[in-house]
Every structure is written in C-alpha cells, then in structure tokens.
Chains A and B, each alone.
Chain A
C-alpha cells in the first residue's frame, strides 16, 4: 500500500533529561549536564505522532551538553541501535567488549540481541550531537554485536552512500533495512530506488535543504514515502540528508 508523510522539525517530540533530580541515575554528567532529544517517532512519552516507521521504532536527534553528559550503563535486548555522530565526540562502551570513541561522521551499529549493556558519554566540554536509530531485529536473541565505520563526506559528496545494510562497504545489520547519506555541495537531482515496493524510505535533513518527492524540506525536517519503486530528490546546493529504508 502506498503512503507518505511529512514531519517538520518543530513537530517532533522534545524532551530534556537532566543529570540531577529524578533522572540522575540514568543521565551521566555533573553538575549541570543535560540530554536534549528531538524524536521523530515514539520515544517514551512522546506519542502525538507516529509510533514508528516499518522496523524503525526510534529516531532521536540528541545533544549531550555538559561535562561527562550521556547515558550511564543500561541494559537492552534485541533492538539494533545505530548512532551517527554529527558533532563533537561520543564515547561508547558496551558489554560486547568495546570502548570506542566516535567523532564527526563516525557511526556504529550495536545489536543488543540476547542482552547487552551500553553507556553513551560525552567526555568533552563541547556539545555532542548524534542521530540515534533503533530497529527491531529479524530474529530475537541474536548474539550481541558491534560494528563501526566512518562516512567520508568529501569523497562521498553529491551521491548517495549506503552506510548500513546490504551494500558494498556498508556495516551489516540483522534487519531488512538500509541507512544512506547524501551530502551535496552543488545542484544535484537523483532518484532513490527502493529495494522493493514493500519497502519505504524516510528522509531526514541533517542540514541544508532538499526537495524530496516534490516536498521542500529544510534543516531537521523529514518525510517518508512507501509502496513505490522510486522517489525523486534534489538539492539546489548545500544539503546533508540521511535516508532510512525499511521493509514495511
């Protein structure tokens, strides 16, 4: 079945989690650290919009502000959690056995599977901004895993680069999904071809502006289309877009 929606930046859910008070055990950092989170889909109490999109359950645009800010070690099962660092430095620690530091354009895929814990921290003074995406897996209680990589924005400019999913050079993920990034610094018009009409694609504008399926999107606006073979998108100039394709 065919469908589409547009979600403007200001229509997203918003929450702020402080390192003091009721969330002090969950949120790291001291004394005045805080996580701000803009959610495209259902994330805890946010539910004025969509519960999810295909296999996506969370799409959070998060900023960790203040020294040591982040999430303390906490448990997960089954969700496949991806982080795409846009600014600052993220320290990721997990019970698969990784201590990783990710900078701008680094990203990871952490599959919690049969159970794992992780901590996400900003150990620096400047803000850390990352996009967090959670996918449901294809199978429950898979062996936990962690993979990381880097998006080369200069080499990859003005074309679509697949970061996660079934594509050469992309990180593996135990789900029928793909995450791609499109960074433009010149006028570009392209066609996004979906894996099948049973899939849908969600486009999130990190920066700049694009026209996606005929709709003009600005910074942090987003839109989705499903039940089609392909979608046209174009940039008039500077643009930075994350595409999340998922079986519906």
Chain B
C-alpha cells in the first residue's frame, strides 16, 4: 500500500478525467489504479486521445462531485 494521494489526469483532447481513485471500470481499469499502471496504449474513453496527451491537474472537485456524476453513470 502506498500513502501517495490519488491524482487526477485530464485529457487535453476533450477534458475527460482519469481519477486514480475511481479508475475507469467501463474499460476494466479498477478503482485505485495509478496512472503509471494504466497501459501506455490506453486512449481516452470519450475521444480516443492517447494516454501521453493527458495532463495531471491539481484542481478540486465542485461540491457534491464526483459522487453526483458517478450516480448518473450506472456501472461507473
């Protein structure tokens, strides 16, 4: 286990977020999967932009997020 805080990466093609805490279950990437452990061949779930063109961001979520968005996406 690591105590390193989870980080968030944003797709520079469309803004899709990869939050390490949430992973991307739609694509078989389990919650808690670190960015470094996401395959280099992985592309944005929404727009297909390659992993290399994501940027790590330190921006807080708006109130009630990301839970509200997750609730709106069954299986997420």
Cβ-defined contact, B53 with A44, below 8 A: yes
Given known pairs A74-B47, A77-B46, A114-B68, the reply for A142 and B14 (CB within 8 Å) is no
Chain A interface mostly: loop
Q: Name B60's closest neighbour in chain A (CB-CB).
A: A139
Cβ-defined contact, B15 with A77, below 8 A: yes
B62 contacts the other chain (CB 8 A):
yes
> What's the nearest-Cβ distance from chain A to residue B65, in Å?
4
Cβ-defined contact, A137 with B59, below 8 A: yes
Cβ-defined contact, B66 with A42, below 8 A: no
Cβ-defined contact, B16 with A140, below 8 A: no
A140 vs B7: C-alpha distance when bound (angstroms): 13
Interface-central residue, A42, A112, A114, A142, by most chain B CB under 10 Å: A114
Interface-central residue, A74, A115, A143, by most chain B CB under 10 Å: A115
B38 contacts the other chain (CB 8 A):
no
Chain B positions within 8 Å of A77 at CB level: 10-11, 14-17, 46
Chain B positions within 8 Å of A44 at CB level: 12-13, 49, 53
> What's the nearest-Cβ distance from chain A to residue B46, in Å?
5
> What's the nearest-Cβ distance from chain A to residue B31, in Å?
17
> What's the nearest-Cβ distance from chain B to residue A83, in Å?
16
Cβ-defined contact, A141 with B65, below 8 A: yes
Cβ-defined contact, B8 with A140, below 8 A: yes
Cβ-defined contact, A141 with B69, below 8 A: yes
Chain A positions within 8 Å of B53 at CB level: 44
Chain B positions within 8 Å of A142 at CB level: 62
Chain B positions within 8 Å of A75 at CB level: 14, 16, 46-47
Cβ-defined contact, A42 with B65, below 8 A: no
A138 contacts the other chain (CB 8 A):
yes
Which of B14, B47, B55, B59 is close to A140, meaning CB atoms less than 8 Å apart?
B59
> What's the nearest-Cβ distance from chain A to residue B49, in Å?
8
Chain A positions within 8 Å of B60 at CB level: 139-140
> What's the nearest-Cβ distance from chain B to residue A141, in Å?
4
Chain A positions within 8 Å of B36 at CB level: none
A113 vs B49: C-alpha distance when bound (angstroms): 19
Chain A residues within 8 Å of B, Cβ to Cβ: 42, 44, 51, 57, 74-79, 112-115, 136-143
* Given A114-B69, A141-B62, 18 new contacts (CB under 8 A): A44-B49, A44-B53, A57-B55, A75-B14, A75-B46, A77-B15, A79-B14, A79-B15, A112-B15, A113-B62, A114-B65, A114-B68, A136-B10, A139-B61, A140-B57, A140-B59, A141-B65, A142-B62
Chain B residues within 8 Å of A, Cβ to Cβ: 8, 10-17, 46-47, 49, 53, 55, 57, 59-62, 65-66, 68-69
Which 6 A-B pairs give the minimum distances between C-beta atoms?
A141-B65, A77-B15, A79-B15, A78-B15, A139-B62, A142-B62
